[in-house]
Amino acid sequence: MQEQNQTPTVIISATHSGAGKTTVTRALLVALKERGLVVQPFKIGPDFIDPMYHTAIVGRPSVNLDLWMMGEAEIRKVFARWTADADVAVIEGMGALFDGAKGTDEGSAAHLARILNVPVVVVIDVYGMTRTAGALMDGLDSFDPEVQIAGFILNRCGRRGSLVHANLIKEGIGNERWNRVLSVICDDPHLRVAEGTLGLVTPSHDSEGIEQENLRSVAEQMDVERIFGTSIGQRTKQTYQPTPAQVHVPRTRLAVTKDAAFCFYYAENLAALQAVGFEIVEFSPVAGDPLPPNTHAVYLGGGYLPPFASQLAENKKLAAQLRQAAVQGMPIYAECSALLYLGRSLRDFRGSTYQMSGVLPMDFVLDADYLQIRYLELTTQQNSIFGPAGTIMRGQEFHQMRVEDSDLTPGLYRAKDSEGQEHVGGYQQGNVVASLAYVYFNSSAGVATRFLKAAQAFRKGQQPVTYHD
């Protein structure tokens, strides 16, 4: 059971991927937000897309909870901090309930439920199913006694307004099991989640209105009180206000790329950078923005860069500013597809080549046969803006791109993946650090602080600015 003072929380999981947990999670967020509640969303695993949808709905950063990158203690700490001023929390699972790494439940929704001591609501896709739903419920209920399953949501259960399918299931499984059903969601093809390159498509302003309207139709079918097992109807907490001692006076400005091409950021990374004293200033390379004035460091996050390659190639002013900043020693950090932008050129899947910023003497090509999806532990081999050689960080890779030509050799870090395979990766030229990996900053104490110190040294005109203890 949840602790008495803990923010009411549920994990939304499912019997399998595609059962509807993403739709149910989003609809639940809509229902809670429309009650005027402060809702804190989370996502299990390293995914960036689902958190973006969560944030678009509730207006708060959705936070990843990933066992590989964070560890159990960090997960508990992060969860407690982000829920401190929230009325309610919703955690979207990854994959199926008990499915974790290497055929175990390590890192699974079930594992996180035990770590955080919170209940799980399981989504069952009952399309074409009646009595078998009861067998699934019994199996899930009894499989791991340490996992508290609050109940079940039956998804794709007949047409809207018709009880025929629901009544057949109720008859087939009996009243005792039916009492474990928390909500019944009808089948609606408008709610199928779109898929794009390497997974889901990112939210767009054009579709948000339609998306919200469709999700409201699901929210209306959900019994929020039954899902949480308690009354969820009014504000229960005061908005958190930091004490004066916790307020930093921003002096060092970090320019962060933020648009449809550069949109993959872990909320905890940005929070860590702000916590050490950075003032974050967002700008859009796709929209043609130049580097913000009085910039002392740059953070280019990954995302879906290739569809916007032509717009980025047209932003000549930013490219020139970044090249000049790199020569002057400004700390510049790029992750995954942002590395492509720092290179000289990019050739896409159709064979079209685009000029990029030219900060690094590298050329890249998209390659559908070169898919990399893996967790990584990175041990730096050189002093860098993140610390001395030997700094260990954790993160992940998720991309279809490779280096076609380069005047640089990889050597920033030695990487070991979760299968134990090793390789050398990452690039450093002066205070420009870039790689195809997404790094979780708090996996290594002091990374955000060292990044700040490098930026402060640049602001003061100190040379060299690479790693100051």
The catalytic residue positions are 336
How far apart CA 395 and CA 271 sit, in angstroms, is 17
Q: Phi first, then psi: what are they for 183, rounded to 5°?
A: -160, 155
Residue 364 corresponds to which tokens in the numbers above?
Answer: 């890249």
**Which amino acid, 185?**
I
The answer to whether the CB of 446 falls within 8 A of the CB of 386 is no
User: Any alpha helices (H) in 343-386, and if so which ranges?
Assistant: none
Q: Phi first, then psi: what are they for 123, rounded to 5°?
A: -90, 125
Q: How far is CA 321 from the centre of its chain?
A: 29
The answer to whether the CB of 146 falls within 8 A of the CB of 117 is no
How far apart CA 284 and CA 259 sit, in angstroms, is 5
How far apart CA 303 and CA 398 sit, in angstroms, is 10
Residue 408 corresponds to which tokens in the numbers above?
Answer: 């640089």
Q: Residue 230 CB: number of other CB atoms within 10 A?
A: 12
**Which amino acid, 140?**
L
Check whether the bond before 306 is cis (ω within 30° of 0): no
How far apart CA 437 and CA 393 sit, in angstroms, is 11
DSSP annotation string for 35-89: TT--EEEEEESS-SHHHHHHHHHHSS--EEE-HHHHHHHHHHHHHHHHTTT-SEE
Residue 348 corresponds to which tokens in the numbers above?
Answer: 């896409």
Beta bridge partners of 362: 406
Residue 307 corresponds to which tokens in the numbers above?
Answer: 């569809």
Q: Phi first, then psi: what are they for 428, rounded to 5°?
A: -140, 130
The answer to whether the CB of 27 falls within 8 A of the CB of 213 is no
Query: Which of 130-136's residues contact partners 24+ apart within 8 Å by CB, and which partners?
Result: 130/165, 130/168, 130/169, 130/172, 131/169, 131/172, 131/173, 133/169, 133/172, 133/173, 134/172, 134/173, 134/174, 134/177, 136/15
How far apart CA 392 and CA 381 sit, in angstroms, is 10
Task: Give, rounded to a whole angstrom, the gap between the first and last alpha carbons of the chain.
Answer: 45
